[in-house]
A and B are shown apart, each in its own frame.
Chain A
């Protein structure tokens, strides 16, 4: 069995279409979206038909949860005033442009999903198994803490998103954690590409499964044009074009922050 796992779409309908085509070409059995359909990008309603037509199994992320419940904030967990300023602009735009029907649909998505691959118990979630908006960065997530999450969640493999930067770690115990990254915006590495993960059986791995990251190139210039036409912040379009984060920087731990330009 082979599944495609994609995180944070952030209204990037162009990258989503390319990702779905890429996953289809890889002959995956199923596609899962780990939540956060909106934010950042333009025309939030455009991603819904793409997901439904492709039969993508979609989880509810913190952004989706906020939109569905009509909250006045995206629950992204920012604490910096500048980060919050941009988060508010983006949330207000997305809230106004998402149809009531799509908001209601988001509210019916599950917060987590469980499946079995090669006899392994796989848990899919948005932030972490215990909190929808918990950040699990590579440099601040110790092995011992992951072991606790595996114990409490009764899982062998945990896949999450939310941070925007992909990573994975196989623990000495054979448990496998995967942050599948996001397809909505590049991951602060200076390239405009985005990425998702393919999870499949792998006899050579201690965990019995492996996560392979797929890079996806798409027409980022067109997306940036659409964002400017919609009067979204110029800083957002700049990130799409350059691959460097210009906002939401204060949640980054020093290790991840050092790798970026700003």
Chain B
């Protein structure tokens, strides 16, 4: 391994603010989860409305452009509707859900919250295959059926959910998988299929499912020459957790990735020497809506 210094990325502009709103608690235990979330993992706890409020006030002063909520499963946090309502007063919001915990009353609430805001409210539903066999092999038995039920409720309420799939198949199969995912969305009443594909991240559970990163899979100074750092999420984003502000949504379990208690304290350069940084470098900001959004034929 080379001894050259690890490149640092400065926070150019805090455009995206993420909230680890459900901590590491999830009703599912997916075999590819990059932060090992599960029904028993309480390493990171829920964010309360008050904490979110404090960070939102800071974000307003910093001129943040959009807000994201993830977990774990965000809707396990009972304060989620109130948190979304508060957020959508000041900017667009996106929730990353597995869809299985959506119920009619909750979706009705979300519909009212979306309707009351001048800003877009996006819901990303994680589904990793177009059939129970393909999806549940990763997300657990019954996950497919639960997520499709969630999609149906969202479609009926007028949402245009973005199906988010982690690519666990070969590139050659992508066109046929995409077509099948579009059909799935249509059959669930989502007539304008929106799909986002994500690469796998070889950390957390995924490192056990396939393999971890190899020693040579690290971002080097040479790789940053002529590279637009604006492609990297760490140049324009931070992640709020119940243990402080981390550099990005992916590295929350990584030592050194927590940069401070407040957004202001977390406004400092970050050395992108962690293994998952390699995937981000190769694919760009994979977590944002704007990266790798795919839709089908109308």
Contacts and interface: CB of A to CB of B under 8 A. Distances in A.
Interface of A: 77, 79-83, 130, 137-145, 147-149, 151, 246, 249-251, 253-258, 262
B132 interface: no
Nearest to A249: B295
Contacts of B90: 142-144
21 contacts: A77-B290, A79-B290, A79-B291, A80-B293, A139-B119, A140-B66, A141-B65, A142-B65, A144-B61, A147-B63, A148-B63, A250-B294, A251-B290, A251-B293, A253-B120, A253-B122, A254-B120, A255-B120, A256-B120, A258-B160, A262-B192
Given A140-B92, A144-B61, 10 more contacts: A82-B296, A140-B65, A144-B90, A145-B15, A145-B63, A145-B64, A148-B13, A148-B62, A151-B63, A249-B192
A151 B75 CA distance: 37
Contacts of A148: 13, 62-63
A250 B293 CA distance: 7
A249 B195 CA distance: 12
Nearest to A140: B92
A249 B118 CA distance: 20
Contact of A82 (B62, B291, B295): B295
B101 interface: no
Given A253-B122, A255-B119, A258-B160, A144 B91 contact: yes
Interface of B: 13, 15, 59-66, 90-92, 118-122, 158-160, 192, 194, 290-298
B260 to A, nearest CB: 20
A145 B296 contact: no
A139 B91 CA distance: 8
B60 A144 contact: yes
A81 B294 contact: yes
A252 B120 CA distance: 10
Contacts of B61: 144
> Interface majority SS on B: helix, strand, loop or mixed?
loop
B298 A246 contact: yes
Contact of B295 (A80, A130, A138, A143): A80
B271 to A, nearest CB: 25
B293 A79 contact: yes
Contacts of B64: 142, 144-145
Which of A77, A145, A249, A251 has the most chain B CB atoms closer than 10 A to its own CB?
A: A145
A147 B295 CA distance: 33
A171 B118 CA distance: 14
Contacts of A139: 92, 118-120
A52 B46 CA distance: 60
Nearest to B196: A79
Contacts of A253: 92, 120, 122
Nearest to A148: B63
A254 B65 contact: no
Nearest to A143: B90
B183 to A, nearest CB: 16
A250 B119 contact: no
A38 to B, nearest CB: 24
B63 A140 contact: no
A140 B119 contact: yes
A203 B63 CA distance: 29
Nearest to B295: A250
A153 B91 CA distance: 21
A137 B13 CA distance: 19
Contact of B192 (A77, A142, A257): A257
A97 to B, nearest CB: 27
A253 B66 CA distance: 12
Nearest to B230: A131
Contacts of B66: 140, 142
Contacts of A255: 119-120
A155 to B, nearest CB: 15
A249 to B, nearest CB: 6
A250 B63 CA distance: 25
Contacts of A151: 63
Given A140-B119, A144-B64, A148-B62, A250 B91 contact: no
A230 to B, nearest CB: 23
A254 B194 CA distance: 10
Contacts of A246: 298
B216 to A, nearest CB: 28
Nearest to B289: A253
Nearest to B161: A254
A236 B15 CA distance: 33
A81 B13 CA distance: 28
B96 to A, nearest CB: 15
A218 to B, nearest CB: 26
Contacts of A142: 64-66, 90-92, 119
